[in-house]
Structure 1
Amino acid sequence: MSETLLRTAQLSVRYGGVVANSGIDLTVGAGEIVGLIGPNGAGKTTFVDAVTGFTAATGEVTLEETRLDRLGPHRRRRAGLARTWQAGELFGDLTVEQNLAVALQRTGVRSLFTDILGRSAPPRDTIEAALELVGVPGSGARRPGELTLGQQKLVGVARALVGGSRVVLLDEPAAGLDTHESVEFGQHLRRVAASGIGVLLIDHDMQLVLDICARLYVLDFGVVIASGEPAVIREDPTVIAAYLGTAQPAGETE
């Protein structure tokens, strides 16, 4: 079994009287792709927001035995926990390299003065390594509009990975991709995981999720209703009723 990198324990989010996440226990191991699936409104993005510090939560978030739940988003990012966003469009007027360099910029007064004085330069080796890892090497000088949608999605993953991320949480990264592009995207994610990075994947593309994830967690109304290997999850009556809709023969998905 792979080393556990990310662990949440009893993670819960409340908005007034509404419970968006309730007592979620989840792990992601080194080199492992773990899926988080469920119907719209199940609380998947809220969970990612809570883990990465963008929404208030109770419970524990641990990365490589270090508690992160008392830290803000930028400190969690520097600790090695990164994410993408559903509306994760790249900056169209910046090059790919510049898009990734933005993710490496530290916040605060010191970094502001460094930028003003012109001493901040994009770490090109680090950026090119991230682009190479996701399968779009040599694209740093191009603008997002010059890339295919699939390549843009991969650059978005690279932007999350750049700077030494240990775990990356991907929120609907394959949205808008056709079947061929999705398969290719999954192949690149496998290479990311093979480097030792942990990946938590949220996506409605069930073919992608079932093909590349080692384990799945299923959320419904903010509660984990099932977890396990894809072959077990796809036959779980509770999951079928809540999300999949009908039992599916092996090799077929919605």
Structure 2
Amino acid sequence: MSAEAAGALLQARGLSVRYGGVVANDDITLDVGAGEIVGLIGPNGAGKTTFVDAVTGFTKSTGEVTMGGVRIDGYSPHRRRGTGMARTWQAGELFADLTVAENLAVAVQKPGLKALFADIFTGSKPPVKTIDEALTMVGLTDAADRHPSELALGQQKLVGVARALVGGTKMVLLDEPAAGLDTHESRDFGNELRRIAATGIGVLLIDHDMSLVLDVCHRLYVLDFGKVIAAGAPQEIRDDPRVVSAYLGSAEVEAEVDIDADGGPAASPLLQKGTAQ
């Protein structure tokens, strides 16, 4: 599935971020369609998180960002959230003293003094239906009344995703959501990402778990030194010499399938690098 076929939901055109003389993102053009999982990968320091910061309004950038056909690059982060865009953070700790449902309720708490006074004097009722819908989307309806410490790490990661999904999200940008997961947890996490995308939500996934990324993504973009060096289907990206070189740091590394000690095909260098964590 391509962004064009699914209906482009998020579009970045010529997006650049500069910190003084340092170019963190250099003329990036990227699309994510509704119901599509698109991966954004690259070595550490390639500019992936900077791109998410720019798209969601947390750092200044040049270029165009549109959401559902509406140009939003002049919007504040709060206004961008109002268009249906949400994100997770690398350090996405949950509130340990709150239940899972309460963690999600915090995410949909309306900002401003009016909402604050209403909460103090009349008490605010959590949007139960909205929270239930988000937990259903990630398969955690049975965990609503439990605390994060009672959940496995993979489930805690999904609570973080659910917190981003709550409240009418149409596009979610996930920044290393599978960090720390073992192979089994990563596979289960991938299955839940497919469930989310199947509802029509667009997903931009940043992660170093190449097994996860290559398995669940419809398309991939690869960043190196802030520039897109490759884009295409997972198989094309895995075998692209430019991508293998960027990850392994050697122009001589080839992306051809090698033969392992047992005479069978060995994993590609990109996959080996990505799963090493």
Same fold (TM over 0.5): yes
RMSD: 1.3
Which of 185, 203, 208 matches 1:181?
185
- The answer to whether the aligner puts 1:162 opposite 2:159 as a matched pair is no
CA distance in 1: counterparts of 2:83 and 2:126, whole angstroms: 20
In the other structure, the counterpart of 2:262 is none
Letter in 2 for 1:55: T
Q: Which residue of structure 1 lines up, in the alignment, with residue 8 of structure 2?
A: 4
1:228-243 equivalences under 5 Å are: 228-243=232-247
- Once the two structures are superposed, residues 3-46 of structure 1 have per-residue CA deviations (whole angstroms, 9 ceiling, x without a partner) of 11000011111111111001110000011000000000000000
Deviations 1:217-238 (A, max 9, x none): 0000110011000111111111
Q: Which segment drifts farther, 221-230 or 106-115? A: 106-115
CA contact (8 A) 1:4 1:29 kept: yes
Partner of 2:205: 201
The 2-side partners of 1:204 and 1:132 are apart by: 27
- The worse-fitting range, judged by mean Cα deviation, of 100-109 and 48-57 is 100-109
| Contact kept? 1:128, 1:138, Cα under 8 Å | no
SS state at 2:187 partner:
helix
Partner SS state of residue 141, structure 2 = coil
- The Cα of 1:75 is off from its aligned counterpart by 1.2
Query: Per chain length, whose mean CA-contact separation is higher, i.e. which structure has more relative contact order (CA < 8 Å, sep 6+)?
Result: 1
Q: State the match for 2:34 in structure 1.
A: 30
- Greater CA drift, 226-235 or 243-252: 243-252
**Corresponding residue for residue 219 of structure 1:** 223
Q: Give the Cα–Cα distance (whole angstroms) in 2 for the partners of residues 128 and 195 of structure 1.
A: 15
After the TM superposition, which of the residue ranges 239-248 and 223-232 deviates more from structure 2?
239-248
What are the Cα deviations for residues 122-171 of structure 1, in whole angstroms up to 9, with x where unaligned?
A: 10111011001111112111110011000000010000000010000000
* Percent of residue pairs identical: 67
**Structure 2 spans left out of the alignment, 5+ residues:** 258-264, 273-277
Using the size of structure 1 for normalisation, the TM-score is 0.97
Residue 84 of structure 1 corresponds to 88
- The alignment of Structure 1 onto Structure 2 pairs a total of residues equal to 254
> What aligned pairs does 1:12-91 form with structure 2 within 5 A after superposition?
12-91=16-95
SS at match of 2:143: coil
Give the match's secondary structure for 1:21: strand
Q: 1:70 to 1:142 in 2, by over 3 A?
A: same
SS in 2 for 1:138: helix
* Rg (Cα) greater in structure: 2
| Structure 1 stretches of 4+ moved >2 Å | 244-253
Q: Secondary structure at the match of 2:44?
A: coil
Deviation string for 1:94-146 (max 9, x for gaps)? 11111101110122122112212234211011101100111111211111001
Distance, in Å, in 2 between the alignment partners of 1:51 and 1:91 is 26
SS at match of 2:6: coil
Find the counterpart in structure 2 of residue 140 from structure 1: 144
- The aligned residue for residue 109 of structure 1 is 113
Stretches of structure 1 lacking an aligned partner (at least 5 in a row): none
Q: Distance in 2 between matches of 1:151 and 1:251?
A: 32
- Secondary structure in structure 1 of the residue aligned to 2:86: strand
In 2, are the aligned partners of 1:33 and 1:212 still within 8 Å (CA)? yes
Q: What whole-Å deviation, never above 9, does each CA across 1:201-250 have from its counterpart, x for those lacking one?
A: 00000000000000000000110011000111111111110015652637
